[in-house]
Structure 1
Amino acid sequence: MSERSVGRPHKPVPSDMPPARRRFVTELRSCVQDSGLTSGDVAARMGMHQSSISRALNGGRTLSEEQVRDISAVLGLSDSRAKTLMFLWQQARSETQPGAARRPAAASEDLADRLSALRQESGLSLREIAARLASTGTPAGKSTVERVLREPGESPLLALQMAGVLIDALPEAQRGPAAAEVFSAVLTGTQASPLHLTLSTGSGKTTAALQTLYSYASVPSAVTVASLARKLDLPVRELRTLRRAARAVAGRDEDQAPGRLISEWNPLELEVHPSAPPSRPGQGELTELPAYIPRAHDQRLAETVREASEGHSRMTLLVGTPSTGKTRACWEAVQPLAAQGWRLWHPFNPTRAEAALEGLDHVQPRTVVWLNEAQHYFADPRLGERVAAGVRKLLNQPERGPVLILGTLWPAYAEQLTAPPSPGTPDPHSQVRALLTGRTIATPDTFDQEAMESATALATADPRLAEALEQSGRNGRITQELAGAPDLLRRYVNSASATRAVLHAAMDACRLGVGSPLPQDFLTTAAIGYLTDDDVDHLTEDWAERAFAELARPVHGGLAPLRRIRPGPGVRPSTNLLSGTAHVPATGPVFRLADYLQRHGALTRQILCPPASFWQAADSHLRNPEDLYGLASAAYDRYRIQWAHRLRDRTADAGESRALLRLVQMREQAGDRASAEVLAEQAADAGDTFALTELARQREAAGDRHSAEDLARRAADAGDAHALTQLARMRQQAGDRASAEVLAEQAADAGDTFALTELARQREAAGDRHSAEDLARRAADAGDAHALTQLARMRQQAGDLENAESFYFHAAAAGHRQALIPLAQMREQAGDFDSSEVLARQATGTGNTPLADARALEVAGDHAGAEALYRTAADIGDTFALIRLAQMRKTAGDDEAAAALLIEAADAGNTFALAELARAHEAAGDEEGTEVLYLRAADAGLAWLFDLAGRWPHGLNPDGTPTPAW
């Protein structure tokens, strides 16, 4: 709309305006003119539409008391003049109240302003608006359109339909903000307004009109949606689609968007490790963190950040062992975005996975999503797949970008989350694997020569760096020294037996699934079982106090082995999604184990089962249902069945959702289908759709296709697109290709393209290349970079090298850089060696490990080269390389060497090597050796790999002896 310039006269005040209102409008005009501001200036500063101010200045609308106060402040009125303006406003308001027919409520006036502005912006005439309304099945003459534009409160439904017509005529970029203004106008005013009274009937036409407005991207905020539901009281089921659409764009509301400006964060809040002060005093003023030394991975990280700043949504996880500088690298990388006003969101409360799932749909453009220790998000047994699906959806919706997903991950978790499943086994990480493919960067444990030289130069001004260089020698482990990792390890190894027992209990709790801070009572009770009888006999009365005091003492790097946690005022207790019951926090002191010791315990203790005191302490002192459920699962995986049942009962008593899932399964198995569905619906209404998807799977397995599809669709309607993916896979396996394709398309429309790529893979395996390519193209069109790689490979196999290269390049540009590897091979086969080397170097720079390179050589038939690289990977701690070497030796007929390699891997803590060894001994008829290996495998959490019911019908005790009947 055109803006009124200073000095340009307003329309005359209508002569038939009531006297008090005429005096108020005249004074308001005088105040604006004296201020020197235009009506556009006033509107902008008050956060209102210019048409609203223009109508107020012409007497066409009434301002609220709050708006009068705001406009007085904007105009800079003196106290006396502001009081005069307020007095005149109060007179004008009282003039219309007693016995007078009031104008429609403020909601109608605001909507009239919006419609008037929309009409000017759209350029539609009254006749054109009427014609477009008629084409949608709503006949309205030109005079009717004119009347509703002037007084929308008289025909609210037609006003909403007219708003949809006008918005549809705007350029696409303007539709979202315009729809947001319409919703704001609807919510202005009181419950008694004609607009609200009419809408509250919740008719089908009303819902259709609202749905038209919801269909525009970036429309109502979360607050708007909540207000609309309260004020209009529309049916929940009828508005599910509208609410999902609203949640998808709610993050556009600045006040409700998760996170805050990057510039407002302290790096220590984001889990950047602090550094200890130098040991020698008198070193002068030091910055909070030591100087940063960029390395090779920082260049790739900076490239990702640059692409995000240019408007492209991106994701990268830094993969490396603890204390290698991953989190600090992410912090340094986002500083250019801080200068551009980006936000940062660190989901962590009540649990990381729950917070991420709750907030992903509200993420605003120009936001960094901070997923430090990403295993807490993606390895969560219940929510990990849904979190991954939510992140994929966010990345694949350009209208919600740009966003940047940054995180860190330990190598063992990266291997676990990206390893493909064995044929015929469940695939628990399909969404996560698809998300992480091509989106990780390896972070080395050590500094290379160039980085060491930079550190040496900076050390002259930073004594902390100087001491780290001195203590590390030339091994390049600078970040570990700064983080105090060696001192943590030395403190652990050299600690007294009671102190070390407390650490062992903490290590086992963390590695078996306890994500909350550890209560002191739990650690004290559990530690007893880790001591020998002689150790127990020599305990003093105050042994526990002395042990905790010793563990709280910081080492070099400012870290304590076991640090006491004091929740801040912003931390709230975890709330169960189903019952709404808060997880009551532990009473008494709680502690957190240092990250480095968590990792050390996970590696060195993974084949050990905790003693009985550990399980008893968990039963007595842990309260968080998530923790109890995780330990129940860990007990079951170790064939400690009695403890698994006990802890699961505790979980159900606390109202944990997975316990309710178990109840759903029991009702279904007992044939009580109605009760099972009621319970599953209750879970879905509270935000947990897994029970519905599980019921769908069971109904499908039972042959009840119709019921299975209905349940899956209900889960999808509640926001779980993965339910449709599951069902598509089942229909494909049942041979119903048409239904599978329809369901996969529906899943893709809901943001989950994995079903399409999985169908493409299955069709290709069945020889139907044409259908496979079609499905892969549809997945690629929906934003799936992995599908581009599929297409490239299929085109390459078909001999269409030109299109194959094009797809490989597009896949790499979309973030799947490993697509450069086959492209380099194509160039090499074509004799273009220079180009091949450039591409290979680019691909190798994306984080390929020696293990990945060795696999590539093995596939290419270079077995000698593969074995050499596998051994290199094993030498730097990759025990899966030993398993691959063992498999190659076994294929070559050298069973003795294969067994030796598996034993080496098992001794190094690789649990899957134990399973391979157990099967080998059983096949060889070595019953005694098989028994020992089965027990070791059970201790390591691999009981689910074997049928142990015949061997130990009642399970095992924590000490490994068979449990008697119970």
Structure 2
Amino acid sequence: MHVPDEGLGKPIGQWDPHDLEVHPAGTATAAAGSAARAQRALPGYVRRAHDQALAEAVGDAAGGRSRMLVLVGSSSTGKTRACWEAVQLLAAEGWRLWHPYDPTRAEAALADLGRVGPRTVVWLNEAQHYLGHPQAGERIAAALHTLLTHTDRGPVLVLGTLWPEYADSYTALPVPGEPDPHSRVRELLTGRTLTVPDAFGKEALHAASALAQSGDRFMQDVLTRAHAHGRVTQDLAGAPELMRRYEHGTPPVKALLEAAMDARRLGVGLHLPQAFLIDAATGYLTDDDCDQLTEDWAEAAFVALARPVHGKQAPLRRTATRPPRILAPTTTPVTVSGPVFRLADYLEQHGRTTRRRLCPPASFWHAAHTHLTDPDDLRNLATAADHRQRLQWAHHLWRKVSDAGHLDALTDLARMRERAGDRAGAEALARQAADAGEASALFSLAWMRERAGDWEGAKTLYRQAADAGEQLLAPERLWPYGLDARKPRVV
């Protein structure tokens, strides 16, 4: 005869949500132990459409009707957190929560489902470990069916989570004449699944913004990255592991990540060529680190960095090569050869904050000059090198841009010559650009003639620029010294 056990599990209010596999958000700085646990606060919760259906199931259970609901969604879309928020209503009414996991999830569930008493939440997070178990899955499904349909054992609430691929596998109809390994699971899940979307919609993002404005530091942080794509929960869940991968990575792993961080913060585009990263990374290693490198160090480091964390993020993941960029009808498309990689948004932001005062090593600039081809990337790095007094590298990078047919880079080179006191060299470069058809270079020449006291020469050049139809009178396109560039010099 069945004898329910009122004591299975413990009161909901005594559970730490992280012990129920709610992903920690953000990064903790305290030491491990009780102090760290106390700081593992949860971000404010944003309710979405699936929360209403979940609330109805909880309401039915509170009203005396046993229910089961399995939330289906991709990794770190907020499924477990939604379940935790939903059962708080039952916590106030003294319900218990049982999370079967010892010695294994399937063994615990199979052994003790018959002991579940009324007013208990059965917590089946990552339900594939229960329902998909090759030996016990069908028996667990049958036991859950019995629990839900025997009125003398209720009310109970069974909550679970599944990735879509598992849900599809368990609910697919069998092929005639072949075994049906999930018949009881399929019957159990019918009408008891609820889809959780991957991203926040407009209303949810608005609610998240309201939380951020009210002081929620988690939302303030995540919305700096996720406001466009809406993958808020994935970002929150993946951040701690991304930081752990970086801080505890091997020297080659850290070197590749820091080279990628520096590239992004200094203006290189999203897609970072593998060859550039490998060559740049060598300067981030100590002599001892270099002595210990194996022949396959780069391959091993990229494999480690490609392993995903929560939310299907990876610290540095390979991505598709970007399509050629057509900058002008006569411009040769920019192509990238070899694999390209993208740095995780969270690590990119971390690098912008923590490395903003650091200058990359010489290997970084050499790798950029050797491997990067996009003129915007090269311009940005040339400017960054100039600001950091890496003047030779700034010269080489601007020269590479100009050699690729982008004549405006010659005016940047001319500016460097002018600043170094080589006025003749500066004028020669500006004249080279002007002769090749870069009308804005005429303004640079005019300004240099004006600085030299050659007013007639300056006036002639300003008129030539005007006759050429050059309308770029914004200060940043004129020679950047001294006089108010907003005042045209044409007499």
Normalised by the size of structure 1, how large is the TM-score? 0.26
Greater RCO, 1 or 2 (C-alpha within 8 Å, sep 6+): 2
Q: Which has the larger radius of gyration?
A: 1
Normalised by the size of structure 2, how large is the TM-score? 0.49
